[in-house]
Structure 1
Amino acid sequence: MDNRAGADSETVEATGSLEMASNLATHSTVKMTKKYSRGDGFEVSRKIAGARAESRK
């Protein structure tokens, strides 16, 4: 169970997509994936902010 939660978390952090993690984990709902996904999404937010700033240049 812990390995799956880790995979969910890493997938969400790497892709920013709960849907992709849900498909990978074969969860029936994204709500279940969100339950198992750890972290606060800080890394994803930082990447998105950087990409947005870069696109404005």
Structure 2
Amino acid sequence: MANSVEIVHICRGDLTVDLVGPYEVVCALMNRSGGSTGNIDQACTVDESLLQSEIVA
């Protein structure tokens, strides 16, 4: 699944970006990376099966 992330912020190192699937499975797209650089404008691909997996406890 292709995704595009565009966030305007002065310090991208402050940010975490997660994609949450229908069964509340979380896939981290970005975790405080980029230091003091501003803004996020990137494309990423996530394996769709990871987000559609139902967790059985």
Higher helix share: 1
Give the alignment's TM-score, normalised by structure 2: 0.30
Higher strand share: 2
- Ranked by relative contact order (alpha carbons within 8 Å, sequence separation 6 or more), the top structure is 2
